[in-house]
Amino acid sequence: MTSIALLGFLAALLGFGAALDGFSHAMHPVALLGARGVPRWWAFDLFGFLLPGLLAWAATVRLSIADRARDADSRLLGVGWTLCAFAALAFAAQGVLPVDAAKGFGYGLGKVHTAAWTVWWLAFVAGGLLLAVAWRGRIAAQFAIALAAALVLAFAMFVAVPGAPAMGQRIGIVAWLAWLACVAWGVFDRRSASAG
């Protein structure tokens, strides 16, 4: 599920970006591809935000259940996974809250879209850091991955790449989905190894 979410987002971003005349990955926000008034805006919202977000949510819930089965008493795990699930739902919500291409982010659904974007990255950074703390004594690789993904996302949201101000968004989204895929592979590989 996580790999499909990551690859689906990348395919939508690159495909719809290539189809939109004048679109620059370095300069334009991801949400422009799904802005009302842009050709095929609804398709990008579906394949770029909604489906990857829902797949990420389903994977997060599965990972939470598997991880909590090993350590049901950890409140950090519970809160961390809950925040990560909330982040995935906020990401998906962007697909049903399209920005108006003519009016921008400051009007109507654009404001709510911006709020969903903000909730997505804040919830993931907080959840990823809590999971990193919860995993610190158990799994060194997962700790490092969670910490690195949370820090990359936080950094990408605040620091613009020189000459490419919109690249931070793409780095952040890919870091989040890649983190989720890495954790999924780690959690389910350990479960199958311990069962065998």
Structural domain spans, the chain: 2-195
Q: Say how many CA atoms lie within 13 Å of 123 toward its Cβ.
A: 20
Q: Which carries the bigger pLDDT value, residue 95 or residue 131?
A: 95
Condensed to tens digits (0 to 9), the pLDDT of residues 45-57 reads 999 999 999 999 9
Return the residue matching tokens 């065998």. Answer: 196
pTM for this predicted structure: 0.88
Condensed to tens digits (0 to 9), the pLDDT of residues 171-181 reads 889 989 988 98
Q: Can you tell me the distance from the alpha carbon of 48 to that of 50, in angstroms, rounded to the nearest whole number?
A: 6
pLDDT of residue 138: 65
To 10 degrees, the CA torsion angle through 153, 171, 93, 101? 130
